[in-house]
Amino acid sequence: MPHVVTSKCIACKFTDCVVVCPVACFYEVESQLLIHPDECIDCMACVDECPVHAIYAEEEVPAEFQSDTALNATEARRVQESGQGAIEAKKDPLPTAAQRKAELGY
């Protein structure tokens, strides 16, 4: 089962997770990161790296974030098909990241 980036990532876009991903399955949209479900090998390396705990195994996604599973699949595929490659290097988080992290209690 692949992993899913939930909406906790919105306004953050910390990229600590992409650095440890052995298969480069992370893609990005304007407000958050996504995991491509066909590329994720379920290694779990990214889970503990996320400063806002936004990444879950698909079968463990909390009820309030269930729609994020479909969002990851649809949007990651769309981004990939547009020609944008996966993120493989650390980038600066969004300017709102520290505030969002505090709002989430981390």
Per-residue pLDDT of 11-67, as tens digits, reads 999 999 999 999 999 999 999 999 999 999 999 999 999 999 999 999 999 999 999
Give the chain's domains with CATH numbers. 3-96 (3.30.70.20)
Calpha distance 57→72 (Å, rounded):
12
Model pLDDT for residues 68-99, shown as the tens digit of each residue: 999 999 999 999 999 999 999 999 999 999 99
Calpha distance 86→43 (Å, rounded):
17
Whether residue 1 is predicted with pLDDT greater than 80 in this model: the reply is no
Six-digit token pair at 10? 């919105």
Is the overall model pTM greater than 0.75, yes or no? yes
Calpha distance 106→102 (Å, rounded):
5
